[in-house]
Homo-oligomer: A and B are copies of this chain.
Amino acid sequence: MTAGPGAKRRGRRPAGEDTRTALLDAARVEFTERGFDGATVRVIAERAGVDPAMVNHWFGGKDKLFLASLEIPIDPDQVIPALLNGPAEELAARLIRTFLTVWDVSGGGPLVALMRSVSSHEGAAAMFREFITRVIFGRLISALGVDQPELRTALAATQMAGLGMVRYVVRLEPLASADHDTVVAAIAPNLQRYLTGPLS
């Protein structure tokens, strides 16, 4: 949520970074007000004052515009197939390694900003719900064909959100600076139970 109160629309906007910024601002408003399903590329583009084709040009589609508006630096069209490529009983380990690789790069700064947004604005919390259920865990878990997919999605989210909080936001040792193998050995068995194990 970088668009501060000082961000203003200009009368004339050249095709370029201004278009991208205007689309992100418009997307945050539309996703917040209408949710992921309710928001349309057409209305977002209209609100930004640009052609709808600019969404594909700058972001590659609605789901990637959504991730960019949350400042989550992943491309689900690459990440989801890569995570599903391998034994289902090792999915948790792959998921944790991907998570650590994505967020370690920036020292977790964007994740701290995301947690702050989510705990400060109901709109951001709603967007984060959509991200969890539609973009990441929901897609992974429906591909597994397991029972109780909604509960498993929420349980997996508790473990990954908690790992993010403790490693990057609260920065509690030894998890804050543990290497990836240590984190995977400690957490993957728990996450794997949420994904594919018996729940009760």
Which positions in A face B, CB cutoff 8 Å?
Answer: 112, 115-116, 118-120, 125, 128-129, 132-133, 150-151, 153-155, 157-163, 165-166, 169-176, 178, 185-187, 189-190, 193-194, 199-200
Number of copies: 2
Contact B200 A170 (CB under 8 A): no
- Residue of B with least CB distance to A113: B119
Contact A170 B133 (CB under 8 A): no
- Residue of B with least CB distance to A115: B119
Mostly helix, strand, loop or mixed at chain A's interface? helix
Contact B173 A163 (CB under 8 A): no
Closest chain B CB from A91 CB (angstroms):
16
- Of B120, B154, B173, which contacts A166 at CB under 8 A? B154
Contact A150 B174 (CB under 8 A): yes
Contact B199 A186 (CB under 8 A): yes
Question: A150-B174, A154-B166, A157-B166 known; 7 other A-B pairs, CB under 8 Å?
Answer: A118-B170, A129-B171, A129-B172, A132-B170, A153-B172, A154-B174, A161-B166
A120 vs B199: C-alpha distance when bound (angstroms): 35
19 A–B contacts from the bound complex (CB under 8 Å): A112-B119, A128-B170, A129-B172, A150-B173, A150-B174, A151-B174, A151-B175, A151-B186, A154-B166, A154-B172, A155-B187, A158-B159, A159-B162, A161-B162, A161-B165, A162-B165, A185-B200, A186-B199, A190-B193
